[in-house]
Structure 1
């Protein structure tokens, strides 16, 4: 390995160690790592800026502003109260309902947008029931990454794979969605075992929730109606963004701008709803991971997977599935997928049957996001919201639950791929 490769790995390792230790804020750790790489010349400023996925940051900022405006209508409180009353205040039924809703929305929107919508509802409801929101939030993070695996638009790696391989929205429904349904069913059983008996609510709290009026929770009825209409429109736009030739960031920022216009909202107030610590973390992380891509570290990992299997399609499929999952637990999955796409394309031109490999990467990269708190954008976003609201989701606390569930999910995906291919 070259000196730049060794240094890029060392900086990444130190940044991750600081994130895990939680001695300093993760955004500061990531940004300092980026500054070190710039200062010692491992990556120049232009290359570092080129590593930043501004589309992802645009989606985050736009949807955070959108949610900040919608929140003023009371929509989240209305949905939370309505859900709690339909479940008769039973916390396990509420968790199961929110897990299913999160997975479904993550497939139809994207998992980050879904988390931004579901998270505030969950926190509000748990406060009303006087129970810890952390188990609910962890379950929703896991569900968002699993649900996002099911469709072309649910997770960024799927968008990249679909574009490179010429796969359609319905191809993902055919090949990814069935195993996602199976994984979600298993996870619900696991969540019941992990949390079902621990979730208890006092009689007085249940009575208090059942006495709440969801209609009284609506603070601004005109804005409430506009919010519902805009959520429907944004959902449709995300589903059709390929046909519309619009990036997700354009839709998200456009939605935020329209909501501000139709509501007469305050821009400064909407900007206060942006989790700037989360944005800073992603800025630094993109540069740190981009340095490993720029120096060839990620390419070496991808080529190593190919050489280890000797070109055998089944072995390569399994190696890519597990390799993608394990690496996506600690790396951003976008650079890894971007590196593997040209390798698979070259193999296809050499006559190798690469069709199963696309699905191995899709399932591995998306499901692997549950392996740690920094494995996927949705994880970081919701943990940032939770920490701000007084329900800290720590790196270790999430990983203790997320990593075993990731291994279980990928094991199910392994059996599924072996059966269909």
Structure 2
């Protein structure tokens, strides 16, 4: 089970880096439940799921597109895709390793020690069908290639003037259009799977934030943020980190990141890189403080 925990832990971080946290948790959590049931280790299920829930929020820091707060704050701060990865990857690696080690120690998840346990586990794993759920190899390969090209486009956006001018949103739409050309016969299925609720949520969210800006609500909140930034180059970002993390532990981190990002953007030269990263880390990791702090831990 310990090797399985490491495998699913790494998968959770990687899936969270390219998918939204809820989707990653549902996929990995379902695989975990099936695997542990077949291996006869249902007593370890709670430990596995809790560790994976924590890792979804850690993995959400890996790239600029890993979570919505990253996209919102990163775009306002002007952080390039590759720069974001270089800054956050060391933390994600260390935090993931510590989470796996502490989780395994806390929930008693250990390695298989006897030869009998290893043989039984190997026999049970051999009954798994790795091709289950794949519609066709051609479709699978095309999707993988397109996805890799999309990640490369995001990575090279800051060095290719055309992509930089288009912006991340139009680059993603361009690849979506290419995908639809290949699967044009299934276009209705694609439209049905779009999360329209999330799209309209963002539309109304930024409308509300702009109304708050014109009503001087953000200006009033900004006074408190200015007080935090004036605490000093070290104490200021630290205070902003903890305040955003605590707020994120009891509320949705998307509107929180949008509001704080807008305020920091308006402060101009008073805002440093440390303040931007404090909001990014705080809004993402605050979800690990309480069971209701993020959608993935609720799942």
Specify if TM > 0.5: yes
In structure 1, the residue matched to 2:27 is 120
Distance 1:259 1:97, change over 3 A: same
Check the 8 A contact 1:293/1:335 in 2, yes or no: no
The yes-or-no answer on 1:339 pairing with 2:249 is no
Q: 1:235 to 1:346 in 2, by over 3 A?
A: closer
Give the corresponding residue for 1:26.
none
2:121 is the alignment partner of 1:214:
no
Counterpart in the other structure of 1:181? 93
For 2:199 and 2:290, the matched residues in 1 are separated by 18
**How far apart in 1 are the matches of 2:191 and 2:201?**
17
In the TM superposition, residue 154 of structure 1 has moved relative to its aligned partner by 3.8
Of 74, 98, 105 in structure 1, the residue corresponding to residue 8 of structure 2 is 98
| DSSP 3-state at the match of 1:211 | coil
Cα shift at 1:210: 1.9
Deviation at 1:366, TM superposition (A): 3.1
Q: What is residue 55 of structure 1 aligned with on the other side?
A: none
- Indicate the residue corresponding to 2:278 in structure 1: 360
CA distance in 2, matches of 1:210, 1:241: 43
Contact 1:123 1:133 in 2 (8 A): no
- Provide structure 2 residue ranges, at least 5 long, that are not aligned to the other structure: 111-118
SS at match of 1:313: coil
Deviation for aligned residue 1:184: 1.9
Gaps of 5+ in 1: 1-89, 349-353, 384-392, 399-421
* Structure 2 counterparts to residues 298-309 of structure 1, below 5 A: 298-307=218-227
* TM-score, scaled to structure 1: 0.52
- How far has the Cα of 1:373 moved from its partner? 7.5
8 Å Cα contact 2:36/2:45 also seen in 1 = no
Find out whether 1:236 has 2:160 as its counterpart: no
Give the 5 Å matches for 1:5-16. none
CA separation of 1:357/1:117 partners in 2, compared to 1, >3 Å: closer, same or farther? closer
Give me the whole-angstrom Cα distance separating, in 2, the residues matched to 1:183 and 1:169.
21
> How far apart, CA to CA, are the structure 1 residues paired with 2:245 and 2:93?
18
Q: Distance in 2 between matches of 1:257 and 1:303?
A: 44
Normalised TM-score (structure 2): 0.69
User: How do residues 265-284 of structure 1 correspond to structure 2 at under 5 angstroms?
Assistant: 265-276=185-196
**Greater relative contact order (CA < 8 Å, ≥ 6 in sequence):** 1
Which secondary structure state, in structure 1, belongs to the residue aligned with residue 126 of structure 2?
helix
Task: Tell me whether 1:324 sits opposite 2:244 in the alignment.
Answer: yes
Measured against aligned partners, the alpha-carbon deviations of 1:14-68 in whole angstroms (never above 9, x if no partner) come to xxxxxxxxxxxxxxxxxxxxxxxxxxxxxxxxxxxxxxxxxxxxxxxxxxxxxxx
> Cα distance 1:336–1:308, how it changes in 2: closer, same or farther (>3 A)?
closer
Q: Write the distance in 1 (CA, Å) between the matches of 2:291 and 2:218.
A: 21
